[in-house]
Amino acid sequence: MSTHAAHTPQLTRTSLATSRAASALLYVKATAGLRLLPVLQAELLLKAVGSGLANRTRCPFSFVEARVISGEEEALFGWLSANALLGRFGRGTTAHSDTVAWLDLGGASAQLAHALQPGSTTSEEGAAHVLALASSHVRLVLRSHLRFGCDEA
């Protein structure tokens, strides 16, 4: 575990009231770097991370799970995060026209996510996933390219 990762719970503890930290759920989502490892090695690493984070003396949060996510999940989480931070949801406009596309060039993979326009007949139609948002449904194209990250390409 990197020095930064080892100290993250301690740093966060100072900015979050201890009474609230105990009810904050903590999910660890591992990405392409762990997808490249042999399955057993990745499982052992995630088990060690989980054991450390489940220790309430070391980590004030309520640890739920540590797992490797798919490239499509990684693309979806990035797209949701970018659009939520930009305030693109719930403005009274249709979600597909008001969102931004998202490209993540990571260390071991690259992810791309974008919404399809209604009635679109592109070749990406078959790859679209429907996402239900509070105000509408969005058809998203989620792509992940393993080994196309900065450190692997």
Residue pointed to by tokens 């060039």:
105
Strands 137-146 and 62-68: unpaired
Q: Is the Cβ–Cβ distance between 114 and 102 less than 8 Å?
A: yes
Check if 74 is active-site. yes
Q: Provide the edge-to-edge strand list for the sheet that holds 137-146.
A: 102-105, 109-115, 137-146, 128-132
CB count in 10 Å sphere of residue 94:
15
Instruction: Say how far apart CA 18 and CA 14 lie, in whole Å.
Output: 8
Identity (one letter) of the amino acid at 145?
H
Distance CA 3, CA 127 (A): 39
CB atoms within 10 A of CB 11: 9
Choosing from 73, 74, 124, 152, the catalytic residue is 74
Which residues are designated catalytic?
Answer: 74
